[in-house]
Chains A and B, each alone.
Chain A
Amino acid sequence: MKLKLTTLALGAVMAAGPVMADLVFPSLSYRTGPYAAGGIPFADGYADYFTLLNERDGGIGGVMTKLIECETGYNTEKGVECYESTKGEGALVYQPLSTGITYQLIPKVTADNIPLHTMGYGRTSAANGEVFSNVFNYPANYWNGASGVVNYLLESNGGDLKGKKIALVYHNSAYGKEPIRTLEELSAKHGFELMALPVDHPGQEQKSQWLQIRRERPDFVTMWGWGVMNQVAIQEAANIRFPMENFIGVWWSGAEHDVMSAGDAADGYKALTFHNVGRDFPVFHHIQKYVVDTGKAAGAGDQIGTVLYNRGMYAAMLAAEAAKTAQGIHGTADINAAMMRDGMEALEINEAKMADLGMPNFGPSFNVSCENHGGPGLVGVTQWDASSKTWSLISDFKPTDGDVIGALVAEDSGAYAAENKITPNCN
């Protein structure tokens, strides 16, 4: 009972919290556990961009930003705890970087009217904003990714995949299962054979899956992996001498740390992306000058320009731009979560804007609307060069199969709407 009282008092102190003065951006990060390798650079990029805005521009529209970091360890229970403990502090938008936590949060954020941005992950059918009013997954989602893989393979095989066999190595969770539906549809449409191989959390044990690949000899392997699973898969692929050019990971399976451990054997491995790679962008000079050199970097400052750091920064940039849009719409600098939602729904990203921010040609131009929370779904392909240790874009951002994906989104979001008695509307 004593213990209970002490925590009661502690919680009371915490619940009182600070008054809302800053623009609060919670960062549900994970710097520990089997997924930390991906979580750390993303969280660093996310934090550093907001620090840059504070240091260089004095916040967004004159209001300072405040980042509250909360460690989830990619665990849904801790994710819920993080959400509950930060939402009272005026959180504007949540980006949990975990499909599992996203599924927890979708109903909660809708009830609390806080937007949720799941960039390239989460529930794909949230692209239908008529049903998922508070969930956004622009600029691309898993089904774009699945279609992007198939399109790329079509292109490199003269437009014909008939009789080919594609293996999907996936994380056996909501995340990894997402692309299966789309790939099944696409396999019927293009006449290739699909072979799905689940890998259980955390993914260190993949011998049997790769043995099966060796036996069945698929023409191509695609992967929906995350965390330690990626490194292991690439190493296993190298061990069975699977040609790396025919191995394509989704964007969560294509960072430096995923391929480094396999060394030269990983040369030629491909991964999807929805934003540009490398550090030849003016914004990184600013980050170096205002954030790293002043000692305010979230991490050690050594992640700048890596794939996931760029993605974290891109996520922060989109959030900041949405906040600016919201400030414009509502004519107040001190926005709340509901205003932020409007800002996200009216977000416009174009080349001029990105060039202004020091990120020319960093990502696609797109407009978000109530009907489409998913953005344009443009997917590019990058390839790893083990000798120079760099990723390079080998296929520019191209549209994906809108017919197949649109129908699946309508079906899945319709089922969700029926299950939860939501009337789809846009007003």
Chain B
Amino acid sequence: MFYREAGDFKTSYEQDSQTFPIKFDRFRYYAVLAIAFLVVPFVINDYWANAILLPFLIYAIAAIGLNILVGYAGQVSLGTGGFMAVGAYACYKFMTMMPEVSMFVHVLLAGGMTAIVCVVFGLPSLRIKGFYLAVATLAAQFFLVWLFNRVPWFYNYSASGQISAPERDVFGIMITGPNAPAWATYMFSLIFLTLCALVARNLTRGTIGRSWMAIRDMDIAAEIIGVNPLKAKLTAFAVSGFFIGISGALFFSVYLGAVEVGEAFGITKSFLVLFMVIIGGLGSIFGSFAGAAFLVLLPVVLKVVGVDVLGWPTDIVAHFQLVIVGALIIVFLIVEPHGLAQLWRVAKEKLRLWPFPH
């Protein structure tokens, strides 16, 4: 009923292979974009930006990045926190070394720097797979955090080892620092997320994406049919690192404003992003969004319901959060191992036929 394809004719290959082939879907997508770009910036306040939307947007970028590596290329990584730290520290160094340059450039450069680091740590993936690769990336996580704690050059020799974002702008609009308006930080992150999602979507359905998926599904078979594993794996690490670096840079500069590497980019961050990807759905761009939204919003919603609505003590609610999030992860993995994206896909299939089930 809702997803009627009747009358929705495709007359060219472009139309047939577009991201949203069903008209209703396409218009919903345009509507979401329009609301996100044209409505939200005008109604947003500090609370919405800093507590909900910024973390969602930034984690979504990280989840897309990790999804490329884990979901599309099949290379398990536990180093996301460390790679986000690379993005954050690179962004900090660029911001302090070249204060005149636009924030856009800093974030992109930070992404590029992370891509390089990510490729270096991806080199072992040519020899090792699966759990062993996970351990190798785990080593990257610990090494990078240790490095940023150990070498004072990275935090400009500040006494506390913290890095704090100075005020920087884009076309005269303050993006970082405490005086940045909520809408500006939101738009800045939203633009990056939109670009990243578009690039990711188009990469994954092109040659590179197909070679990633071939490697993921069966690397020997892929090699036999002519997919170069060196190129496929390292491009996956590079692209994934680029996105994760962007998210790390935004996380530090736009969202938190000051970070301490062990606390902000520890191993828990790696697991958080990995959970987002798994809950959202491996190998799905929408899944990255859904997973990020789920894990960012759920604690806030539980807190609002528990503390503000029901008036429970804060510690009980905090403990409940752990229980509920943990239980939901288990339930999801049992009931729908392919994540929220698969749920969405099934729902769409059902809606397509509804109200006639056969």
Interface residues of A (CB under 8 A from B): 1, 3-4, 6-7, 10-11, 14-15, 29, 31-32, 36, 40, 69-71, 73, 75-77, 80-81, 84-85, 87-88, 99-100, 103-104, 106-108, 110-112, 123, 172-174, 177-178, 180-181, 198, 200-201, 412, 419-421
What are 8 residue pairs bridging A and B, where the CB atoms are less than 8 Å apart in the complex? Answer: A3-B297, A10-B304, A11-B304, A71-B307, A75-B263, A87-B46, A172-B262, A420-B166
Is A85 within 8 A of B262, CB to CB? no
Extra 19 A-B pairs, beta carbons < 8 Å, given A6-B301, A84-B46? A7-B300, A10-B304, A10-B305, A15-B48, A29-B314, A31-B314, A32-B315, A32-B318, A32-B319, A71-B314, A80-B50, A80-B255, A100-B162, A100-B260, A107-B178, A107-B257, A173-B262, A201-B263, A412-B159
Is A81 within 8 A of B50, CB to CB? yes
CA of A322 to CA of B320 in the docked complex: distance in angstroms?
36
Partner of B258, one of A36, A69, A104: A104
CA of A278 to CA of B266 in the docked complex: distance in angstroms?
38
Chain B 295-335 against A: per-residue CB contact (8 Å), 1 yes, 0 no?
A: 00100110111011000011101110010000000000000
Q: Hey, which chain B residues are within 8 Å of A99, CB to CB?
A: 160
Q: Hey, which chain B residues are within 8 Å of A76, CB to CB?
A: 256, 259-260, 263-264
Q: Hey, which chain B residues are within 8 Å of A7, CB to CB?
A: 52, 297, 300-301
Pair count A-B, CB < 8 A: 125
- Residue of B160, B258, B297 with highest tally of chain A CB at under 10 A: B160
Is B257 within 8 A of A178, CB to CB? no
Is B51 within 8 A of A107, CB to CB? no
Q: Hey, which chain B residues are within 8 Å of A200, CB to CB?
A: 262
Residue of A nearest to B299 (CB): A78
Is A420 within 8 A of B315, CB to CB? no
Q: Hey, which chain A residues are within 8 Å of B304, CB to CB?
A: 10-11, 14
Interface residues on B, range: 35 or more
Is B317 within 8 A of A84, CB to CB? no
The 4 A-B pairs at the shortest CB distance, nearest first, are namely A31-B315, A111-B178, A107-B178, A174-B160
Is B159 within 8 A of A11, CB to CB? no
Is A103 within 8 A of B260, CB to CB? yes
Residue of B nearest to A178 (CB): B160
CA of A32 to CA of B323 in the docked complex: distance in angstroms?
13
Nearest-neighbour CB distance to chain B for A349, whole angstroms, equals 28
Is B315 within 8 A of A174, CB to CB? no
Nearest-neighbour CB distance to chain A for B81, whole angstroms, equals 13
- Residue of A70, A85, A87 with highest tally of chain B CB at under 10 A: A85
Q: Hey, which chain B residues are within 8 Å of A100, CB to CB?
A: 162, 260, 263
Is A73 within 8 A of B318, CB to CB? yes
Partner of A177, one of B161, B294, B307: B161
Residue of B nearest to A69 (CB): B314
Partner of A84, one of B47, B159, B179, B297: B47
Q: Hey, which chain B residues are within 8 Å of A11, CB to CB?
A: 47-48, 52, 304
Q: Is B102 an interface residue (CB 8 A)?
A: no
Is A173 within 8 A of B161, CB to CB? yes
Is A80 within 8 A of B51, CB to CB? yes
Q: Hey, which chain A residues are within 8 Å of B169, CB to CB?
A: none
Is B159 within 8 A of A177, CB to CB? yes
Q: Is B164 an interface residue (CB 8 A)?
A: yes
Q: Hey, which chain B residues are within 8 Å of A31, CB to CB?
A: 313-315, 318
With A7-B52, A77-B55, A104-B256 as contacts: A85 and B47 at CB distance below 8 Å: yes
Is B159 within 8 A of A178, CB to CB? yes
Residue of B nearest to A83 (CB): B50
Nearest-neighbour CB distance to chain B for A376, whole angstroms, equals 22
CA of A84 to CA of B46 in the docked complex: distance in angstroms?
7
Is B259 within 8 A of A85, CB to CB? no
Q: Hey, which chain A residues are within 8 Å of B256, CB to CB?
A: 76-77, 80, 104
